Amino acid sequence: MRHQTILASLLTVLFFIVSLMGNILISDPAFSNVAYAKKGDDDKDKDKDKGKKGLRHRADALETGATDLQTQINTIELTPGPIGPQGVAGPTGSQGPAGANGVQGLKGDTGLTGAQGVQGVPGANGSVGAQGPQGDSGLAGTPGIQGTPGTDGTDGATGANGVAGAKGDKGDPGSPGVAGADGATGPQGVAGASGSDGAQGQVGFQGPQGTAGADGVGDVKVVNVSIQPPFGPSGDYDASSACNGNGYPIEAGLLSNPNDPTRIEASVSTLKTLGPTVKFKIIINYAVPLPTSGDQTVQFWVKCVVPSLPTVEGQEIFSRKVVFLTSESYNGNLGGLAGADQKCQTLADSPASIAPPGTYKAWISAGNQTPLTRFTRSPLPYITNGSNEIIAVNFKQLATSYHNAFISRDEKGNQLARLDAWTGTRSSGEAARDNCNNWTTNETTRYGQYGLDDAGAFKWVRWSSYRTGLCYLHHGLYCVQQ
């Protein structure tokens, strides 16, 4: 539409120009005189202009050019210019008149029944009704309470003596006299037959825990071992014979190393109580030059124990204590502490057991009853059953998180793959919180603490205090010789 408007305007201007030029040519006198003068020229010029018809022919040519120009204009496609910015919004018109009301809608469904209202206040009591007719006579009542007896009357006058009666019957015997003095004791009679045993009485209440006994006594001696220079290649020095004649080694350590520690490093490399095996390690750093005074003697110490061996009813007390893990596993209902101890004792006394004779108790706690209060605190080493591996050098070390070996063998001396046991006890020997209700329940909602003695990331640390487990699960028991 826009193109058509522009073309129309151009055509109008072009037409106006053509018309104006025509009028100018016709009205100009000079143009007219020239035209008539030309008419008198020679025939050659006349014949030349004859075919062109003069000014009319030129006007026709101009019109033809205008037509061609119009055609070219019609074929031109004009490129629209950029859109101008939006004009300012006009003012808001006034509000139109309100429309007519719409047709009323259909009637809606009936709503749900509303909740019952609060009960109203009770009404006032009605007036008393008229008296009814007299009822039938009631049943006879119970007799009343007897009245109080009247006072006695005045005694009458004494009557005359009557006639003497007949002789009365013999009177009753008199009261017994006072007993005489006891006579001399007669000879003892023949003993009667023994009576049958009476029924067993009920079990009495458990008495209070007694005071823990003193630690056992053993003869302990310390032997010094000297290793003199010149030191050979770095390695172990065997001192297994240090306790010969003085028992067996239970501890060892470095006594003195006067050398430069950057040149001479000394330490204990191996200590096995039963065997025995004692080795010290000396490492030489040859990068540090030998001093002018030479290397000095290194001294170690070895603690040797000679246990006292008293006898009890003819049975020798062993010079070591045995610890084993039960081959059987149990749920948390162990029958209390007594039941757990009995399980250890039964397995220790079984025909297949290789545990030495003696009393065995379970490493287990309930309440204030713990290994610290229930066990004999021996100064002797505690070893695994059926081997010479030392678990602890004495009870003090046993009740810690640092053992020398695992509790890994059962009462038969067999190596076990399962190394877990109910304890209810921290590694220190103190009671833990969870104990399956003092080891009397296997409920699925109750918990008990158990230990795991393995070679994991927490080696020996968790042997007695690994985690809590549900009481229906099964674990073994650590059994310790007393």
Angle at 460 between CA 417 and CA 317, to 5 degrees: 85
Sequence-ordered list of residues with C-beta below 8 angstroms from that of 470, at least 6 positions apart, any chain: 332, 444, 445, 446, 447
Average pLDDT score over residue span 193-219:
49
99-108, 214-223, 330-339, 426-435: which is most confident: 330-339
Average pLDDT score over residue span 9-18:
68
Residue 219's SS3 state is strand
For residue 240, the model assigns a pLDDT of 85
For residue 377, the model assigns a pLDDT of 94
Least confident piece of the model among 73-77, 372-376, 417-421: 73-77
Residue pLDDT, tens place only, 145-201: 665 666 665 666 666 665 665 565 565 565 555 555 666 666 666 655 655 555 554
13-22, 48-57, 87-96, 296-305: which is most confident: 296-305
End-to-end Cα separation, the chain, in angstroms: 119
**What confidence category does residue 83 fall into, taking pLDDT thresholds of 50, 70 and 90?**
confident
Residue pLDDT, tens place only, 340-365: 999 999 999 999 999 999 999 999 99
24-38, 43-57, 72-86, 328-342: which is most confident: 328-342
**Higher model confidence: residue 195 or residue 34?**
195
Least confident piece of the model among 130-134, 326-330, 418-422: 130-134
Least confident piece of the model among 56-70, 175-189, 425-439, 442-456: 175-189
Percent of the chain with pLDDT over 70: 59
> DSSP of 110-139, one letter per residue?
PPPPPPPPPPPPPPPPPPPPPPPPPPPPPP
For residue 404, the model assigns a pLDDT of 83
Contact 363, 464 (CB under 8 A): yes
Instruction: Strands of 213-263 (E only): list them.
Output: 218-227, 235-238, 248-256
Q: What is the mean pLDDT of the chain?
A: 76
408: which 2 tokens? 């890994």
**What confidence category does residue 416 fall into, taking pLDDT thresholds of 50, 70 and 90?**
very high
Letter string b/e over residues 229-256, b meaning 16 or more CB atoms within 10 A of that residue's CB: eebeeeeebebbebbeebbbbbbbeeee
Residue pLDDT, tens place only, 100-120: 777 776 777 776 776 776 776
**Higher model confidence: residue 23 or residue 139?**
139
